């Protein structure tokens, strides 16, 4: 779905160009020249799409889900690089003397810019592939990713502006102006408005609650301006937001799922102390400001169509499920909720008391599974298998109408997906979220 949507956007400028009467003039210039124009145009629109996709457009993330959006962004990055090399090959094939354009000391500005854009794209691809091997921290990777992406866009714009005969053509000029406008509007919204202008992003810390040794819950409420009312915000259970501790475009931002009910007065994030940022969060003083960019994502059960829900959570991956069951309790949802919680040790099982309470008010069953059971543990142990799923679904009426949600470490998501496949759950009823899309 998202792929088709993006394919249409990437292909539209090239198709529009082909359909325009002015394009006929270009056809007289030979096959390679035509192909160089088309590959260039396709590369440019793929680059623009790749840049716009991860720009936190909430409606886009809600429609397609953040995982699909990021996957598509990566895919378009590869496609853009391949198209740029195809464009280069066509330019040289159209006239072998064009190879001289690669000599940066003598090449005109438009060709220097084209080389700059190509180098920036190759650097982006190399960084993406080598991040884990090179053990680059997320922050260093993100800063260099943004720097190279900006360089690729700026160099591409300089290259296009330097192609005299193209920008003077009305069709091309209109297409380029529309692309530039799209990029400026989306970046303005993402970097300027959401950082400095949008009051709905401002929150204050009302509480920081320890859940266990390694997990805390950050409780936020919207910031009030003077005596006026606090800004309101709405989200669907299961969605996430990016949290920042400073109002600056340079501030570190990290994504966390909203764990509270969609109808709560406060907004809560349950956070595992994974590194420096998450450890800072647990020490935040009450009343300190926090900026929340969200809600994002399509990992939500906010639909009346499903007959019930099976939710498989690993570790802190229980946060979206908590939002779903808390919201269901608020709404008096009578549908069956079957929650499978996988943890290493008993002390890693979060929200046990609250879940026991919720079970008294709604059709909720919780199946706890320990990877490393302690002596005396009589519950389930080991991997998620077909046997466990049949226990979870036993007694459920019309399980074919259920929606399945999986959130946790990659290995758990993979295991759960293969079990659901074995028991015949159709892929369109399965929703996954992994806490790492870097």
Ligand X SMILES: Cc1cc2nc3c(=O)[nH]c(=O)nc-3n(C[C@H](O)[C@H](O)[C@H](O)COP(=O)(O)OP(=O)(O)OC[C@H]3O[C@@H](n4cnc5c(N)ncnc54)[C@H](O)[C@@H]3O)c2cc1C
- Piece of the chain touching ligand X by CB under 6 A; list 49-57, 93-101, 191-199, 429-437: 429-437
Cβ closest to ligand X, residue 186 vs residue 218? 218
Cβ closest to ligand X, residue 174 vs residue 288? 288
Contact mark string toward ligand X, 4..33, x via CB under 6 A: ------------------------------
438 belongs to the binding site for ligand X (CB under 6 A): yes
Tell me if 296 sits within 8 A of 61, measured CB to CB. Answer: yes
Whole-number Å distance between alpha carbons of 357 and 359: 5
Whole-number Å distance between alpha carbons of 152 and 27: 29
Provide long-range contacts, Cβ within 8 A and 24+ apart, for 150-154: 151/116, 151/117, 151/120, 152/47, 152/117, 152/120, 152/121, 152/124, 153/47, 153/48, 153/51, 153/183
Contact mark string toward ligand X, 239..278, x via CB under 6 A: -x------------xxxxx-----------xxxx-xxxxx
The closest residue (CB) to ligand X is 275
Cβ closest to ligand X, residue 129 vs residue 438? 438
List, in order, residues 6 or more apart from 387 with CB less than 8 Å away: none
DSSP 168: T
In the three-class reduction of DSSP (H, G, I as helix; E, B as strand; rest coil), residue 217 is classed as strand
Cβ closest to ligand X, residue 87 vs residue 254? 254
61 belongs to the binding site for ligand X (CB under 6 A): no
Q: How far is the CB of 330 from ligand X (least distance, A)?
A: 19
Q: How far is the CB of 350 from ligand X (least distance, A)?
A: 10
Whole-number Å distance between alpha carbons of 310 and 429: 10
Whole-number Å distance between alpha carbons of 189 and 198: 9
CB-based burial, 381-412: b 16+ in 10 Å, e otherwise: eeebeeebbeebbeebeebeebbbbbbbbeeb
Q: How far is the CB of 110 from ligand X (least distance, A)?
A: 36
Cβ closest to ligand X, residue 159 vs residue 194? 194
For residue 227, give Cα distances in angstroms to 230, 231, 391.
Answer: 9, 12, 54
Cβ closest to ligand X, residue 111 vs residue 321? 321
Query: Could you tell me where the DSSP H helices lie in 248-310?
Result: 276-281
Q: How far is the CB of 138 from ligand X (least distance, A)?
A: 4
435 belongs to the binding site for ligand X (CB under 6 A): yes
Cβ closest to ligand X, residue 296 vs residue 380? 296
Tell me, by CB under 6 A, how many residues bind ligand X: 23
List, in order, residues 6 or more apart from 89 with CB less than 8 Å away: none
Contact mark string toward ligand X, 191..230, x via CB under 6 A: ----------------------------------------
Q: How far is the CB of 131 from ligand X (least distance, A)?
A: 9
Residues 308-337 within binding reach of ligand X (CB under 6 A): 316, 319
Whole-number Å distance between alpha carbons of 362 and 21: 65
**How far is C-alpha 388 from the geometric centre of its chain's CA atoms?**
31
Residues 126-165 within binding reach of ligand X (CB under 6 A): 138
* Residues at the site binding ligand X, with contacts judged by CB under 6 A: 66, 138, 240, 253-257, 269-272, 274-278, 316, 319, 435-438
């Amino acid at each position: 779905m998202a792929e088709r949507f993006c394919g249409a956007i990437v292909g539209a400028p090239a198709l529009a160009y082909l359909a325009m009467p002015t394009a006929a003039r270009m056809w007289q210039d030979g096959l390679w020249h035509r192909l160089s124009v088309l590959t260039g145009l396709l590369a440019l629109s793929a680059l623009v799409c790749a840049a716009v996709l991860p720009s936190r457009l909430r409606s886009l993330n809600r429609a397609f889900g953040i995982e699909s959006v990021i996957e598509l962004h990566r895919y378009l990055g590869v496609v853009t690089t391949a198209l740029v090399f195809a464009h280069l090959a066509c330019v040289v094939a159209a006239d072998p003397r064009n190879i001289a354009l690669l000599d940066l000391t003598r090449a005109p500005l438009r060709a220097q810019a084209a080389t700059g854009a190509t180098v920036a794209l190759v650097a982006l691809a190399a960084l993406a592939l080598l991040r884990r091997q090179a053990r680059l921290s997320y922050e260093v990777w993100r800063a260099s990713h943004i720097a190279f992406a900006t360089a690729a866009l700026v160099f591409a714009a300089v290259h296009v502006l330097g192609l005299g005969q193209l920008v003077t053509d009305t069709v091309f000029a209109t297409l380029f102006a529309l692309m530039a406008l799209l990029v400026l509007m989306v970046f303005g919204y993402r970097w300027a408005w959401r950082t400095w202008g949008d009051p709905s992003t401002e929150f204050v810390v009302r509480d920081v609650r320890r859940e266990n040794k390694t997990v805390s819950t950050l409780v936020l409420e919207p910031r009030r301006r003077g005596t006026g009312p606090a800004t309101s915000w709405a989200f669907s259970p299961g969605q996430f937001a990016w949290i920042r501790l400073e109002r600056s475009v340079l501030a570190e931002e990290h994504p966390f799922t909203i764990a509270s009910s969609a109808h709560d007065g406060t907004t809560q994030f349950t956070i595992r102390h994974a590194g420096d940022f998450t450890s800072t969060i647990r020490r935040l003083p009450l009343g300190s400001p926090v900026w929340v960019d969200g809600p994002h994502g399509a990992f939500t059960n906010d639909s009346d169509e499903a007959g019930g829900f099976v939710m498989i959570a690993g570790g802190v991956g229980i946060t979206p499920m908590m939002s779903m069951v808390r919201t269901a309790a608020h709404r008096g949802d009578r549908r069956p909720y079957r929650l499978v919680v996988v943890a290493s040790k008993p002390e890693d099982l979060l929200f046990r008391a609250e879940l026991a309470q919720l079970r008294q008010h709604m059709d909720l069953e919780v199946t706890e599974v320990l990877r490393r059971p302690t002596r005396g543990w009589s519950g389930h142990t080991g991997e998620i298998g077909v046997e466990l799923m049949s226990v979870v679904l036993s007694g459920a009426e019309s399980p074919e109408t259920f929606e399945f949600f999986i959130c946790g470490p990659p290995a758990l998501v993979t295991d759960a997906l293969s079990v659901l496949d074995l028991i015949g759950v159709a892929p369109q009823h399965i929703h996954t979220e992994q806490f790492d899309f870097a």
